[in-house]
Every structure is written in C-alpha cells, then in structure tokens.
Structure 1
Amino acid sequence: MNVLVLTRYERLGASSRIRFLQFLPRLEREGFTFDVRPLLDNAYVRSLYGGPPVGTVSILRAYGRRLRALMRRMQYDVVWLEKEALPWLPTWLEIARLEGIPYVVDYDDAWFHRYENHWLSPMLGHKIDAVMRVAHTVVAGNDYLARRARQAGARHVEIVPTVIDVERYRGLPVAPPNEVTTVGWIGIPLNAHYLAVIAPALRAVAGDTRIQLNVVGAPVPSELTGIPSESFPWSEDSEIARISAFDIGIMPLHDTPWERGKCAYKLLQVMAAGKPVIASPVGANVQVVRHGVNGFLANTTEEWSDALRRLAADPELRQRMGAEARRTVEDQYSTALAAPRLAAILKKAAAEL
C-alpha cells in the first residue's frame, strides 16, 4: 500500500515525529510504503524555539512544495494527513486539493480553537470541521478531540492516544541516592509559561524541602526566580537521559479549551522512564494519571504542594509509583499497541478508493 504522508513538520517537530514518523519503520515491515512530504522544515521549528527567523520566501516555497505534492495525490492509495494540508488558506482550496482520494486526518491538539479565536475566524473558524467531515477517518488523540470530530459530522472517528516507544526507555541508569529531589519538566519554549501556574507551590515547597527544578527544552521562566532551578537544551538524542535524571515529572496546565485537547505526551515520556508524575487534571492527563497509583492529579496550590512534599519525602513511594507509571505506558500507551490500529485504519480507508 502506497501512502502519501503530509506531516506539518520534519522530525524536529514533536507532533509529526510522535504521531507519524515513529510508526513508519514498523508499518513498512507490514508492507506499507510511505512518501513523506512535510510542510515546514526543521529551520522553521528552530525559529519557534528561538533560532533564526524564517523568511516569507521560505514559507512560500514550503506551500509551493505542498501544493505540488497534493497535485500528485492520485498516485497513492491513501493520504495520511496531519491536521490540515494548507494552514491558514481558505476551506474551499483545502477541500479541493484533497478531493478524489480517501484521507485519514490526525489531531493531537485542538487546532480548531486557534482558528475560532483568530481575527480570520469568519473565513477559517469552521475549516477544521470541514476537513474532519470530508475525511474518511479522523484519528483523535483524546476524547475531547474525538467529540469535536463527531460534532463536525466526521464519518469515522478513532481515538488513538499519543504513545511511546517503550524499548527506547529500557535499561536506564538508576540515579544514586541524593538529598536533593529533582523535579523535572520537559517541553518547548512556547509552553514553558505553564510552569508559572505552580510557581507558588514550588516556592512554598522549596522553602522547607530540598528540591531542584530541571527545565528541559526551554529557559526557566522569570516567575520562578528564587527557586533552585536549571535549564537544559533539548535534543532527541539526549532527552531520555535528561528525563532519567528526574525524580518526579510535572505537567501543569491551564484549564481552557485549548489545553483540553492536549494528549499528555511529555507526561508519558516521564512515566516510560519509571518516574512518578504530578499533573493538572486537564485533557488526556485525566486518563493517563491514576491518582495515588502512578502519580497525582493536582489543581490548587495546596494540592501541588502536598503532592510534591509527599514524593520528595518518600523515595519508596516514588519507586512504587514510578513502577506503576511504567506499567501504565507498557499496557496502554506503547507504539506496539497503536501501530496495528493505525495499519487497520489506513487499510480500511484505502479500500474505499
């Protein structure tokens, strides 16, 4: 089966890497062939992370490449699409460039809210609904996204959570005992502002407990000044080693419609490394974290402070919860479970050509 894969980014973009690219070797062994045509290159992703800005000419060239790929779409059995083919362009053009071949579209973010809240909403506010409605299948990363797809009139909706290649997290070094508990967060600069949500809790705990905050992939926000903390650069090669140095992983979020579409990937990474987690009860976090078993769900400053203190004070609790966290990922959120489902979804869509 020949599949045209239209990702948003190259490998440096987490959504493309985790929702698409990590599955390709496994699916190729099942007889699939893939032609991967990302819209935006790694230079664009680096610009989002503080790198050199990408000029207008580069963006126009990217759209030109995407349009040429769409013109050749009939050479394939099915299109596997990330979010939409032509971001910020009118709905009619998007649908016209996709017609004639079945496509499977994947969402791991509530991208429809971005358009709804933008000044272009009169033109684009219902664009993602239209893409969902015309698709053969919408693959949603959580219940919130799936519910929107059904409301939009999607023909087939499948919930496939974001998953982890657990084999990459085997045999990690065991951190030696330390009087300082390392609290870790991993993400991108655009999301580091979520740490401000728990700044009062971190500051209160740091006043009576020896903790160190490790921020991987972003600078430490100014709201955390005075809290023992350090920033580390992110790379795909080093991220697992950085995570393995955590004693506790955290994922604070605001509770707004945008965050309800999030799929808990960074939380799952920490859990795959056998670490307990504390997370806001928002989006997929609610399904991933079993409160008091593999981590804690915390909403208020008091709940965050209590969870941090309990885990910092009790290494055996951390070990027990960490083992449960790892088991959760192995049993429910691994690539070995998701890949066969994706294969079946793509085959079913192609069969209706």
Structure 2
Amino acid sequence: MRILLLTRYSPMGPSSRIRHYQFLPALAEAGLSVSVAPLLPDSYLEALYAGKPRSPLRIAAAYADRLRHMAGLCRFDLLWIEKELLPWLPYGIESWFLRNAPPYIVDFDDAWFHHYDRSRWPLVRHLLGRKLDRVMRRAALVTAGNAYLADRAAAAGARAVEILPTVVDLDRYPLPPPAPADGPAVVGWIGSPMTDHYLSLIAGPLRRLEAETGARLSLVGANPKVLYGPSTDHHPWSEDSEAGHIAAFDIGIMPLDDTPWEQGKCGYKLIQYMACGKPVIASPVGVNRDIVEHGVNGFLAETPDEWLEALRRLARDPGLRSRMGAAGRAKVEAQYSLAVTAPRLVGLLRAAAAG
C-alpha cells in the first residue's frame, strides 16, 4: 500500500512531527510505504519564530512544488493530508487538483478553520470561511485530535470521523530518577515563541510563588525576552533535548485563554509532562479537562487565586508531586502513547484506502 503524506512542514513543525512523522517507523513496520512531501521549508518556520518576514518568493516556490507533487497522484493508494493542500487558497483550486486523486485522509490537531471563518477580513471569511468544511466533507476519513475538532468535522458532513489523540513515544521519555525533596521547586513550560504569551495569564501567581518559596521557572522554546522574575531559566528547544529539560521540571504548566481557538488545542505539552512523571496544572479549557484529572494527576486552575493555590500545594509537597506524577505517567501509557495509537492508525489508513 502506497501513501503520499502531504504535511505542512518538515519534522521541525510541531504538528507535522507529532501527528505524522513520529508514526512513520511503525507504518513501515506494518508494511505501508509512505512518501513524504512537506509544503513549507524550514526557513519559513525559522523566520516565523524569529518574528521576521517570510519570503513571498520562497512561499510561491513551495506551492509550485506541491502542485508538481499533485501531478503524480495516480501512483498512490491514499493521500494523508495535514489540514489542507494549499493554505489560504480557495477550495475550488484545491478541489481541482484532487479531482482524479485517490481517497484521502485529512488530519486536524488545531482549529485551523478559525483562521478563516473568524478572520477579521471579510474577504477571507467569504472566500475561505467554509473551505475546510468542504475539505472534510470530501475526505474518506477525518482524524481529529479532540472532540471539538471532531464535532466540527461531523457538522461539516464528513463521512467518517475518528478522534486520534496526540501522543508521545515513551521510548523518548524515560522516567527520571526521583527529584531531591529539598530545594526550591522548578515550575516548567515548553512551547514556542508563538505560544509563550499564555504565560502572561499567570504572571502574578508565578511571581508570588517565587517570592514565597524561591521556586524557579524553566522555559523551553520561549522567547528569551520572556521573564517572570529573576529566577527564570531559558532553554532553546530541540527534539533531542526536550525530554531532558522536562525531566528537570518538578511541575508542568499549561495556561490558556478560553476562546474557540484554544478549544481546538490537543494538550500535547501536558502529555509530555505526564510522560516524564510530572504533575501538571492547566487551564480548564477544551481537551485539558479530559487529560487532567483534578486532584489525581494534577490540578485544573482558572483564576489567579486557583493557580497560586495549586502552585503552592505542589511546590511545598514533594510527596504529592510524586503521587500525581505517577498517575499521569500511567494515564499516558494507557491512552496517549505511540505504542497504543500506532496500530489503530495503521487500521484507519488501510480502511480509508479500501473505501
């Protein structure tokens, strides 16, 4: 069985890496032949994260490359698409290139459709507002990272919808040795310069915690200018080092706004923290409510006072951190691991190709 995987990015892109590339070895082992064709080059992401302009010429060249890939679709049994073929172009163009295509699966791990249907630009809403609904309706299968995304696909009239959670490869997340009980707690966050603004939601509780307990804040992948007190440590993100940095946390955090965009998030950083046996604190938004069992593997905190109380409890109680961390690891092993999810994905791909 031959599959053409059309991702948005190389493994440098978080969604592309964790929703697609990390499954490739398991798919190969199952006898599936997957050819990969990312849309945008790494230089696009590098400029995006650095806040620099992206080259229109390079973007145009990337789209031209994608169209060239579309010319050879007859060689494949199935297309596996990350969100859409041609971002920011109308459905009619995309549909024309898919007119003689094999069946396709389309995957969503965020509410990308809200870039279109909630755009501040009327022309974008008019031309693209229902584009992804039409992409989902035509798909043999829509895989969605959470119920919010799956509900959108079902409302769009998708023929088949499956919730496929975002998962981790536990071989990359060995449990670290128990942290020393003495010394200040390390509160950790992992993300990118595109998402570190959520930390501002809990700036007050973080500063209070540092003043009261001496806790340190460890940020992986954030803009180095983000500071919430003198005890903020910054670490650049890399795929090879991320698990090691998380292993050095005592508490993992995921503050979020509560808007339709955040409802589409899949809680990946929570799953990473829990894979390393760390207790978590998260905003009670979207899938976070499913991942975090309040009082079992972490806490859900909405107001600044709730955040401060949860941070205090975990910072001051190593035993509680250990118990919650163990519960989180067990949940990842059962529900959010590559070993559990890869066989299911293999079955979904085979079924979609068979029609």
Q: TM-score if structure 1 supplies the norm length?
A: 0.96
Kindly indicate whether the alpha-carbon contact (under 8 Å) linking 1:195 and 1:221 is maintained by their aligned counterparts in 2.
no
Cα distance in 2 for residues equivalent to 1:306 and 1:249: 15
Cα distance in 1 for residues equivalent to 2:113 and 2:259: 13
Structure 2 match to 1:197: 201
* Aligned-pair CA distance for 1:178: 4.0
Structure 1 match to 2:351: 348
Unaligned ranges ≥5, structure 2? none
Q: Which of 334, 340, 347 is residue 337 of structure 1 equivalent to?
A: 340
Cα distance in 2 for residues equivalent to 1:298 and 1:225: 19
Kindly indicate whether the alpha-carbon contact (under 8 Å) linking 1:116 and 1:125 is maintained by their aligned counterparts in 2.
yes
Structure 1 match to 2:2: 2
Going from structure 1 to structure 2, the CA distance change for 1:155 and 1:208 (only over 3 Å counts) comes to: same
Kindly indicate whether the alpha-carbon contact (under 8 Å) linking 2:104 and 2:141 is maintained by their aligned counterparts in 1.
yes
Between Structure 1 and Structure 2, how many residues are aligned? 351
Kindly indicate whether the alpha-carbon contact (under 8 Å) linking 2:175 and 2:275 is maintained by their aligned counterparts in 1.
no
Kindly indicate whether the alpha-carbon contact (under 8 Å) linking 2:103 and 2:139 is maintained by their aligned counterparts in 1.
yes
Q: TM-score if structure 2 supplies the norm length?
A: 0.96
* Aligned-pair CA distance for 1:45: 1.3
Kindly indicate whether the alpha-carbon contact (under 8 Å) linking 1:11 and 1:42 is maintained by their aligned counterparts in 2.
no
Q: Which of 265, 288, 291 is residue 288 of structure 1 equivalent to?
A: 291
Cα distance in 1 for residues equivalent to 2:228 and 2:309: 21
The equivalences for 1:64-213 within 5 A come to: 64-100=64-100, 101-118=102-119, 119=121, 120-213=124-217
* Aligned-pair CA distance for 1:221: 5.8
Kindly indicate whether the alpha-carbon contact (under 8 Å) linking 1:296 and 1:307 is maintained by their aligned counterparts in 2.
yes
CA RMSD of aligned residues (A): 1.4
Q: Which amino acid is the alignment partner of residue 113 of structure 1? A: H
Kindly indicate whether the alpha-carbon contact (under 8 Å) linking 1:206 and 1:227 is maintained by their aligned counterparts in 2.
no
* Aligned-pair CA distance for 1:30: 0.6
Structure 1 match to 2:305: 302
Q: Which amino acid is the alignment partner of residue 191 of structure 2? A: G
Kindly indicate whether the alpha-carbon contact (under 8 Å) linking 2:219 and 2:234 is maintained by their aligned counterparts in 1.
yes
- In structure 2, the residue corresponding to 1:38 is in which secondary structure? coil
Unaligned ranges ≥5, structure 1? none
Identity %: 55
- In structure 2, the residue corresponding to 1:207 is in which secondary structure? helix
Q: Which of 257, 269, 275 is residue 272 of structure 1 equivalent to?
A: 275
Kindly indicate whether the alpha-carbon contact (under 8 Å) linking 1:192 and 1:221 is maintained by their aligned counterparts in 2.
no
The equivalences for 1:2-41 within 5 A come to: 2-41=2-41
